[in-house]
Copies of this chain bind each other. A is one copy, B any other.
Amino acid sequence: MHKAYDDPQTAGVALEHALLVSLRERPATGIELTRRFDRSIGFFWRATHQQIYKVLRRMESEGWVTASAGDARSTERRYAATKAGERVLADWIGSPTPAATMRSDLAVKLRGASYGDRSKLLGHLDDLVAEHRTRLAHFEQLEHEQFPHTDGLSGHDLDTWLVLRGGIKQEQFWIEWLTEYTAAHRKATP
Contacts and interface: CB of A to CB of B under 8 A. Distances in A.
A110 B158 contact: no
B42 A108 contact: no
Contact of A158 (B17, B20, B184): B184
Interface of A: 11-12, 14, 17-18, 20-21, 24, 41-46, 86, 89-94, 96-97, 99-117, 120-121, 124, 127-128, 131-132, 135, 153-156, 158-160, 162-163, 165-167, 169-170, 173-174, 176-177, 180-181, 184-185, 188-189
A166 B177 contact: yes
19 contacts: A14-B108, A17-B109, A17-B112, A21-B108, A41-B111, A43-B102, A44-B104, A46-B103, A90-B116, A93-B117, A96-B124, A97-B106, A100-B174, A110-B163, A111-B159, A112-B159, A154-B185, A158-B188, A173-B173
